[in-house]
Amino acid sequence: MMSSVKVVVCFVLLTLFAQAINIVNAENVEVRVKSVTSIAKTDDNFVCATLDWWPSTKCDYGQCPWQQAGLINLDLDNKILRNAIKAFKSLRLRLGGSLEDQVVYKVGDNLECPKFQRNNDGLFGFTQGCLCMDRWDELNDLFKQTGAIITFGLNALYGKQKDHNEKGLWIGDWDTTNSRDLMNYTISKGYKIDSYELGNELCGNGVSARLTPEQYGRDMIKLKKLVQELYPDPSTQPKVLGPAGFFDEKWFKTFLQITGPNVVDAVTQHIYNLGAGVDKDLIYRIQDPFFLSQIAQTYRDLSKLIEEFGPWSAAWVGEAGGAYNSGGKDVSHTFANGFWYLDQLGMTSTFNHKVYCRQAFIGGNYGLLNTTSFIPNPDYYGALLWHRLMGPSVLSVNHNGSPYLRVYSHCSRRKPGITLLIINMSNSTYSSISVVNDLNLYTDMEVPDNGGAKPREEYHLTPKDGNIQSDVVLLNKTPLRLTSSDGIPELKPEFVDPTSPILVAPQSFVFATLRDFNAPACA
């Protein structure tokens, strides 16, 4: 008995000794939070994820990572799936993707319901597919039971034809018939739709097809009028979104000028800034702060464009998977992907983007859930913690540490104080962080924040066995695993002396909530 006690005592002493060494060797960093005013605001449901149309035959680089995760085939009764959505209480889901503009709806006079088939002459290598109303009913039952907030992407090519002179260009006015019938059916069933989006990646040079900004603008006006006609009550009227593609300043500017005031409620752009999923340098790019910062200019440019040409609109990231073609099979589902994903959430919020939709909730290599087992991947827990802890008001923050250290600050969600997101991309350096509260509007005088009387709440996320390519994440050194009933585990903070610095391990993420932090912007 005594020998066992000695072993335990020795282990504890060794742990404390190791922590003391880490504190001594840590880089001392001062983080300054400007707390008088906020610099941006997100939507209350900023975190969003996508559900895509891809069938199991969607393959890239000799692998077919979508399995049965597409909207037509997904097992909607899976307990893990339902519990994973429920855990957010109000998870925003965007239904759409590459095949969106080849989906017809079996409703009204449209009696045909084709299945997606491989065809090299089709867009993205597939023929048309179909959404039958039985499946739409099943999907909406899932959304109702889990509290999901739905954006639905409509087929923008319905009624159009390929131009014979310009490759990839589609011409003609959008035929609203099939979408009208779907909306009428949706309304008759009492299904709630938060927003309708028109088309997928048809802007600029397009991906598999494209529209001119003038034509797309006219089509968007038709969608707005259709929504206003069928949903006459402004309090329940779905928002109208577009163009759901890659930012092209000239194209987006013309589009906003054509649509005019109060047509487009949110301008949606897509982000795949990490390159191809098969790129051997993906694992290095994802930890390179200089590379990750390059996309910031795009967010700034879209925000400025909206301010000038569409101030009635909000900026959204409507789809972002990091690495395109279904993500990287050894990276996108692992802990390492959080260096990109959590940094993206922080970065876009500072540029006044209201919503960030992750590709995908399930499917491909970049799903928040494992495609076959449905077990949450590390980024799921990062998204859930953001949703629960980070409020809409964004605060300005800077620090005097390494560029491999990222820090973001928001007013805490529905609670007093602020919450910091700290990302340490360094593979060797600990950071010992002290927080300074800048309460002054007109001077550079800074007030050290002693944390107040309430304990600081810390959530430290680290990879299993220190391997950043693990798909198991630890919260405060405990692996996050589903409960015996396939529920999402409780995410408990570590309560820390508020006068002590925040110690951030190499290659880790920390959410830290300071309840007594005096931030007038959060009052």
> For the segment 211-266, what is each residue's pLDDT rounded down to a tens digit?
999 999 999 999 999 999 999 999 999 999 999 999 999 999 999 999 999 999 99
Q: Which string of b and e fits 64-101 if b means at least 16 CB within 10 Å?
A: ebbbebbbbbbeeebebbbbbbebbeebbbbbbbbbbb
Could you give the CA distance from residue 130 to residue 411 in angstroms, rounded to a whole number?
A: 44
The distance in angstroms from the start CA to the end CA of the chain is: 55
Q: Which residues contact 447 (CB under 8 A, 6 or more apart)?
A: 436, 437, 438, 439
Query: Omega before 360 cis (within 30°)?
Result: yes
SS3 state at 31: strand
pTM of this structure: 0.95
- Sign for the CA dihedral angle at 142, 146, 150, 153 comes to negative
Domains in the chain and their CATH numbers? 23-39+397-439+453-522 (2.60.40.1180), 42-391 (3.20.20.80)
β 170-171/40-41 pair status: unpaired
319 in active site: yes
Closest CA to 501 of 459, 438, 460, 456: 456
Could you give the CA distance from residue 316 to residue 341 in angstroms, rounded to a whole number?
A: 15
pLDDT on residue 414: 87
Q: Are 40 and 409 in contact (CB under 8 A)?
A: no
Q: Nearest 5°: CA angle at 195, between 222 and 68?
A: 115
pLDDT on residue 450: 52
Which parts of the chain sit beneath pLDDT 70? 1-24, 441-452
Closest CA to 344 of 306, 386, 377: 386
Catalytic residue among 319, 446, 457, 458: 319
Closest CA to 170 of 196, 199, 130: 199
Phi then psi dihedrals of residue 175, to 5 deg:
-90, 115
Closest CA to 499 of 454, 469, 467: 454
Q: Are 163 and 174 in contact (CB under 8 A)?
A: no
Q: Are 76 and 361 in contact (CB under 8 A)?
A: no
Mean pLDDT (the chain) is: 94
Taking the C-alpha atoms of 479, 484, 487 and 490 in order, what is their torsion angle to the nearest 10 degrees? -50
Task: Give the type of residue at 453.
Answer: A
Q: Are 32 and 438 in contact (CB under 8 A)?
A: yes
Cα dist from 273 to 52, 286, 297, whole Å: 20, 10, 12
pLDDT on residue 18: 47
Q: Which residue has the tokens 């087992």?
A: 373
pLDDT on residue 101: 98
Q: Are 207 and 166 in contact (CB under 8 A)?
A: no
- Sign for the CA dihedral angle at 8, 10, 13, 18 comes to negative
pLDDT on residue 453: 81
Helix, strand, coil percentages, rounded to 5, for the chain? 30, 25, 45
Q: Which phi-psi region, left, alpha or beta, contains residue 134 (left: φ > 0; alpha: ψ -120 to 50)?
A: alpha
229 in active site: no
Closest CA to 313 of 321, 323, 302: 302
Q: Which string of b and e fits 293-328 if b means at least 16 CB within 10 Å?
A: eebeebbeebbebbeebbeebbbbbbbbbbbbbbbb
Q: Which residue has the tokens 């390179």?
A: 288
Catalytic residue among 100, 197, 201, 458: 201
